Structure formats: structure tokens, C-alpha cells
Structure 1
Amino acid sequence: MESLTINLHKIDLESIVRFILRESNLSLLCISKQRRDFFEPVKYLIDSEELIRNYTIELINRKVYLWW
């Protein structure tokens, strides 16, 4: 699998994103139906725990796209 689209609630953010980034062979993750306040916590989680390197993250039409 190369990409995955999911809809997360902010409460589930940390555990689910952490699991997906550690245990998958993805290169694209799309988290749908999100607002800007969701964007920064995802960046912080990735950077603070060094879950992935060399990534791009963008918010487009209420979807957070993460490529690596």
C-alpha cells in the first residue's frame, strides 16, 4: 500500500498517526475533514518523535496531506 486516506478526530490523533507512521510502508497519508488547528499538532508529533524524515505536509481543502 502506498497511500491511505482516513478521517480522524483530534482525540485520536496522536496514537493513530504514530502507529500508521511507524508500522506502514506508506508514502502518502491523507487525513480528511480537518481544520488548520489539526495541522500543527501533526507536525509537532512527527518532529518531536522523529517518526519520519524528509516530509512535506500541507492543508488543502480541509484535508491534511503528508508525503514522505
Structure 2
Amino acid sequence: MATTTFFEETLSDKGGHSKSQPVKLEFGRSSFYGGENLVYLTIDEKTVILDAEMGAKLVNAMQDLGHYLGYLKD
């Protein structure tokens, strides 16, 4: 399996709440299934490779969120 990692960080709650545990998040591109480029997510060392439809849905939702929050500019 070939992967290209685009993001790999340990995320913590902004408020620093003691009940909130950090989360390890990694995502990128995987060619595990027949060389097809697909989105993979690893959350706390649990990995899923999304089919193309779900990958597109996730990426579009994140882009919409980025625009809504003003993190992305047109």
C-alpha cells in the first residue's frame, strides 16, 4: 500500500478541559485497493479507507466548513 500523508497531528480541545483526551488524527491518500487513489483516515490508530463517493463527500464538507469559518478564501 502506498500512502501520501497530508495531515498528521495530535489534537487537543481548545478549552483544555481535563475530561477531554487528545486525539491523534492522520489523513491522506492511499492506493491500497487496486492502485485507486482514495482518502484514508487514521483516528487514534484506527484506519479506514473511504470509497471515492464518501471521500468526495468528506472533502466537500470540510471545504464547506473551511469557507464558513473563513479559513478558506475563494
TM-score, structure 1 as length reference:
0.30
Structure having the higher helix fraction is: 1
Structure having the higher strand fraction is: 2
TM-score, structure 2 as length reference:
0.29
Per chain length, whose mean CA-contact separation is higher, i.e. which structure has more relative contact order (CA < 8 Å, sep 6+)?
Answer: 1
Larger radius of gyration: 2
